[in-house]
Each structure stands twice: as structure tokens, then as C-alpha cells.
Amino acid sequence: MSEVPIEKVVTEINGFRQRLSMLKDELNRANRAMAEKMAQLGETLTQRVRDLRDQVTNTPQNLLLLESRFNSGEVSDQEYKSQREEYRNQLTRNLRSIDEIRSLLLVISQLEARPSAQVAGPPGPGPRMSGPGPN
């Protein structure tokens, strides 16, 4: 059985420490990038919800106004059918948007539920202090 010189072992350990440090830095960068993307997603989702809220509120009112104008004779049959079809399509898009927002909220809640990736040192005793120690 051959013995490995202590210097070689120390050199390898230092190399592993250096690689571990680089991996920790990379993980921290990835965590920051993910947090930024999550914030952007949250902002986008908030704006989309506001826009959808306005559409969901206005489209049925506009449809009722169209019905009223048609019944009073202010709108021709052709214009009524065309606008009614537009409002129907808008309502369909609103329903799809609600489903998409629901899906995005589910994704966000799943991402938030994940334990945050804390950069931890290797298991076991902490790093050794250099210098004189007890004998």
C-alpha cells in the first residue's frame, strides 16, 4: 500500500474548496436571476390582471348597451350582429385569460413553496481555524 504525500492531499483539498466556492457563487447568481425573473413575472401578472379586470367589467356592459341600442333602432341589424360577435369573442378571450392567469398563479405559488436554495457548506464540522490550537 503506497502512501500519498500530504502535500498532494492538501493540494487536492484546496482545489475542491476552490471549486466549491465557484459553485456557491454560481448558485447565488442563479438564485438572484431567478428572483429577478419572479419579480418580473409578478409585475406582468399584476398588469395583466388589471387589464383583464377592466375588460371583464366593460365587455358585458358594452354588450348590454348594444342590445339596448339595437332594440331602440339606433343600430342596424348588420352592425348589431358584427359588434355582438366581437363582444362574444372578447368574452371568450377573457375566459381564456382567466385560465392563463390561474395557471400562472399556480406556477408562482409552486415556485414560492419551494425551499429557498440556501448555500450551505459541506456537512460535518465547520472550517478549521488556522493558527495555534490546543495540543
Look-up: residue for cell 495540543? Answer: 135
Q: Give dist(CA 113, CA 130) in Å, integer.
A: 40
Summarised one tens digit per residue, pLDDT across range 49-72 is: 999 999 888 988 999 999 999 999
pLDDT in tens, 75-134: 999 999 999 999 999 999 999 999 988 888 888 888 888 766 544 444 444 444 344 444
The pLDDT value recorded for residue 104 is: 84
Q: Where are the alpha helices (DSSP H) in the chain?
A: 6-71, 77-113
pTM of the model: 0.57
Cell of 129: 481555524
CB atoms within 10 A of CB 132: 6
Q: Is 48's pLDDT higher than 80?
A: yes
The model's pLDDT over 13-28, given as tens digits with 9 standing for 90+, comes to 999 999 999 999 999 9
Provide the 10 A C-beta neighbour count for residue 59: 18
Residue keyed to cell 487536492:
12
Q: Rounded to the nearest 10 degrees, what angle do helices 77-113 and 6-71 cross at?
A: 160
Contacts of residue 41, Cβ cutoff 8 Å, sequence gap at least 6: 104, 108
Q: How many CB atoms lie within 10 A of CB 75?
A: 19
Are 80 and 66 in contact, with CB atoms under 8 Å apart? yes
CA distances from 128 to 47, 76, 131, 132, 133 (A): 51, 87, 9, 11, 10
